[in-house]
Structure 1
């Protein structure tokens, strides 16, 4: 990838980064970069904690989050921008805070973006044991830590978002040595990799997006894991057998659509870990789960988001 590219940027809020990234991954973009001020503001500062990072390296100095996608000059950028603006409106309509939600187009040279975004991704501890480490960063783990090698530029889902963190914490709590885990909407593969690192016997990551599937496969290779399958397609169409845990970090409406299919692939007393649920949609998901024969065993909150753990009765 050499030459001049068109950057399409959305100025937003941290809580909307993953769904807005998903908008771009549905398009034939040539790369996506994310600037999340919480990557820095949410990190402990001081001796023996994470490396200090200057908030001024971010374009909006920590006052906004940004998703940037890159397209070739031959792409129909007007069409892309119209599509993105329509999808952002849909996110607003379902109650996701997209902040300013402004879409900006800029022409730029590839060398200006290909590597500069890496400067503010640092190793991040999630939950009690999991450390998410960008593949280009050095990190010496302690004995009890489990390091997940990730290329955060390849697909959304880096461990910094509240919904991902809560899923990781739930997996830490419930994954056992003989557990089979299905990860629906696997994205970067982060939750599938975490489940494997925690000792799951077999893990399947499923995604409809071929870009995400390729990305997840590469991230699995970075971690040298041999018990993870990454599959493209709908859950029931591509998985074989049943799981002890199904995890889905998506949005509430899709979770409700998937619940009955998840029930078919879960073992008795299996767990459905769901996240990506805003407060206004929490009861809707609980009602759907209970109506489909699940018992809600945990509801955890972080910021504007909820993670619900339900057991199949």
Structure 2
């Protein structure tokens, strides 16, 4: 059963048998560090015991997230304990169990999997006592208020933060781990919006995800913002985040740009992937007047030239290129 406790940021990869969980007390947490391929047999070890809940952190759930081509936002593996290097399976057991026996049993079963020829990665197991409120909300420790650029502060809704003079606070429930503000591509897009958004601007956000870029544009003074996404979960997440920020100048629409948006924008932002940006470019220019800006990211460095070439071919002038690690953000202007 996939947990859907509205607001759990990792409910995309958190599996809990709610019917067997008591809502108070302490638990034994048995943790196994493994790889994506071995999640099922490792989980099977726990389900062969009197497990009360199993949580799974599989980086592939984020990295290989299947969505429509316009909905890809670079979900943040930074929320995972090992930053996507390993998969982690945790089993939760009554404190009345014998923790040492549980751990020994799990280790022996992992050894059996290895002996059968299965690659279980590190295959390291550990056991500790945890409070239920800790493991149910443990993922939240990876989200803290983060300042991006000169003025934008992305604040998880459960955190307290006193804005300093000149700061604009974006209230965010990360939802299913896309668009949190910690990924390089999102940061660069936020900075690009800071540099370009002016009062009375109309902004379109393609593949809005959590809505972070649409909300940022509105906070920066855009007159009207439209965020579009093909993923209904993203649309719901963005709508909730718009409510958290008490904004009435943002529309969140399900669909793609050509199907659901009318009129033209002063700025269009798309944090997707290079291959999709190339496809979008000839469509996007129909929604911009001369001088309109197209901010694009989600571009790895070895795709930079491909995107620049396409932009120039379609009548855009590249006015700024920012690089952060392996990622690139390109701002271009329609001639």
1:224 correspondence with 2:264: no
How many angstroms apart in 2 are the aligned matches of 1:288 and 1:67? 38
Cα gap change, 1:59/1:295 in structure 2, threshold over 3 Å: closer, same or farther?
closer
Aligned length: 245
TM-score (norm 1): 0.71
Higher-Rg member (1/2): 2
Structure 1 segment 143-162 matched on structure 2, within 5 A? 143-162=165-184
Structure 1 segment 162-177 matched on structure 2, within 5 A? 162-177=184-199
Among 234, 259, 279, the residue aligned to 1:212 = 234
Report the equivalent of 2:57.
9
Structure 1 segment 1-313 matched on structure 2, within 5 A? 1=3, 2-3=18-19, 7-11=55-59, 20=63, 23=65, 36=78, 59-60=81-82, 64=84, 114-313=136-335
Native 8 Å contact 2:175 2:237 kept in 1: no
Native 8 Å contact 1:248 1:273 kept in 2: yes
Q: Deviations over 1:69-98 (max 9, x none)?
A: 9xxxxxxxxxxxxxxxxxxxxxxxxxxxxx
* Superposition deviation, residue 178 in structure 1: 1.1
Cα gap change, 1:213/1:5 in structure 2, threshold over 3 Å: closer, same or farther?
farther
Native 8 Å contact 1:34 1:67 kept in 2: no
Native 8 Å contact 1:34 1:68 kept in 2: no
Q: Deviations over 1:129-163 (max 9, x none)?
A: 00000000000001200000000134411111100
SS at match of 1:176: coil
Unpaired runs of 5+ residues, structure 2, are 4-17, 20-51, 69-74, 90-120, 124-131
TM-score (norm 2): 0.66
Unpaired runs of 5+ residues, structure 1, are 27-32, 38-57, 70-101, 105-109
Cα gap change, 1:231/1:280 in structure 2, threshold over 3 Å: closer, same or farther?
same
SS at match of 2:213: helix
Cα gap change, 1:194/1:253 in structure 2, threshold over 3 Å: closer, same or farther?
same
Cα gap change, 1:246/1:35 in structure 2, threshold over 3 Å: closer, same or farther?
closer
Native 8 Å contact 1:209 1:232 kept in 2: yes
Cα gap change, 1:166/1:221 in structure 2, threshold over 3 Å: closer, same or farther?
same
Q: Deviations over 1:261-311 (max 9, x none)?
A: 100011221000000000110000001100001011111100000000010
Cα gap change, 1:9/1:295 in structure 2, threshold over 3 Å: closer, same or farther?
same
How many angstroms apart in 2 are the aligned matches of 1:243 and 1:166? 20
Cα gap change, 1:141/1:282 in structure 2, threshold over 3 Å: closer, same or farther?
same
